Amino acid sequence: MSKLGTSITQFITEQQRTYAGSTAEMTSLLSDIVSACKQISHLVNRTGIMGLGGYAESENIQGEVQKKLDIITNDVMVDHLNWTGHFAAMASEEIEEIIQIPDDQPKGQYLIAFDPLDGSSNIDINLSVGTIFSILRCPEGITEPTVKDFMQKGTEQVCAGFCVYGPSTMMILTTGSGVNGFTLDSHVGEFILTHPNMTIPEDTAEFAINMSNYRFWEQPMQRYIDECIEGVDGSREKNFNMRWVASMVAEVYRVLTRGGIFIYPIDNKASTQGGKLRLMYEANPMSFIVEQAGGLSSTGRERIMEIQPEGVHQRVPVILGSKNEVERVISYHKS
Ligand code: AHM
Ligand code: MG
């Protein structure tokens, strides 16, 4: 078993030897993602010095004005992954169509969906941002993947991870046998295992939600938050704390380290879109990680990883974290 201080390369290689189904190709593919994230970490760290802050002139498929770094980090991911021979196609938050592998490069057996810079509204205020990714198998016999080939439930993911560019840069990974956290040692240029076997406590007294949307939420969501706010004076008979970083990567990292519930519910501003967060490259990979750490992840009505995707940029409500709290929110939706 890998020990504290093991490098991510050694860790992934040892996992490959331990678990049936892990392949050398997966090991090499993860190394490519690690390289891309190191480069993004460097760029995020030097945003101010290199003049990379602020908005670009374009919008992404979500109709959101892109930050300069959204575009740059998307290019870093594509440039690091499109020649390696591991992927048959890619999907990115920043690009409307799926991204094909150039004709002069070999194609691999996997598909990747990623958000190159999650929480990018935080870039200019020097708060944590991150990269999220989800890896699926390319259906057998498919050499020219289309959107249809990406339409696999979250339960089909073979690997998911995210990187947080915060006070330190951290990579959180699951390949379906637990969750492990690595910290980038920038002196050596290597991610080091610092948080083995991360688990989420079943109970929590901390919630994360954008309270400014309260009046737009459905009744079960308002009920849950009302009860948290009533604290010891209400039916829960305990006080709750609240956090909202507006970076899913930072919120999920906090939930993984000390428990909590993170919620981006459906609200009647976003009901036609289905929610705010995107299924394929935000909700599904985070759900895989959270469930592997002993937590739960739901829309309130169904398990996120069992949703049949209908589009690469599909949005869903997200309620994830400490098991007992998520179960409570689900029960409020049922009643
Ligand atoms: P992004 O991928 O465009 O950065 O959007 C996703 C982010 C999440 O990281 C975060 O939880 C949420 O948007 C914050 O939204 P809001 O600004 O509405 O609070
Ligand atoms: Mg995002």
- Tens of pLDDT, residue by residue over 189-204, are 999 999 999 999 999 9
**Per-residue DSSP letters for 246-258?**
S-HHHHHHHHHHH
What is the mean pLDDT of the segment spanning 101-123? 96
Residue 130 sits in the same domain as residue 237: no
Output DSSP code: residue 275: -
Tokens read off for 288: 């895989």
Residue range 220-246, pLDDT digits in tens: 999 999 999 999 999 999 999 999 999
Same domain, 187 and 214: no
Report whether residue 264 contacts ligand 1, using a CB cutoff of 6 Å. Answer: yes
Q: Containing domain of residue 288, as a range?
A: 206-334
**Ligand 1 centroid from CA 270, angstroms:** 13
Ligand 1, atom 17, lies closest to the CA of 246
**CATH of residue 321:** 3.40.190.80
> Residue 1: is its pLDDT beyond 70?
no
Q: CA Rg, the chain, in Å?
A: 19
Domains contained in the chain, number: 2
**CA pair distance 241, 239, nearest whole angstrom:** 7
SS3 130: strand
Same domain, 182 and 258: no
122 Cα nearest atom in ligand 1 = 4
Q: Within this chain, do residues 187 and 233 fall inside the same structural domain, yes or no? A: no
* pLDDT at residue 330, as a whole number: 98
Question: Roughly how many angstroms between the first and final C-alpha of the chain, as a whole number?
Answer: 45
Distance CA 251, CA 212 (A): 17
Domain boundary among 195, 221, 255: 195
Are 190 and 315 contained in the same domain?
A: no
Q: Strand, helix or coil at 327?
A: helix
Q: What is the pTM of this model?
A: 0.96
DSSP 3-state assignment of 314?
coil
180 C-beta neighbours (distance < 10 Å), count? 25
Instruction: Residue 29: give its domain's CATH number.
Output: 3.30.540.10
Q: Is the minimum distance from the CB of 210 to ligand 1 under 6 angstroms?
A: yes
- Tell me which of 3-17, 106-120, 275-289 is least confident: 3-17
- The Cα 186–Cα 47 span in angstroms is 17
Q: What pLDDT does 22 receive? A: 67
Give me ligand 2 centre to Cα 145, in Å. Answer: 24
pLDDT at 274: 92
Residue 106: count of CB within 10 angstroms of its CB: 11
Q: Per DSSP, what are the bridge partners of residue 63? A: none
Share of the chain above pLDDT 90, in %: 85
Does the residue 303 lie in any domain?
yes
Q: What is the pLDDT of residue 272?
A: 87
The model's confidence at residue 65, banded by pLDDT at 50, 70 and 90, is: confident
Given a cut of 80, whether residue 21 has pLDDT beyond it is no
What pLDDT does 57 receive? 76
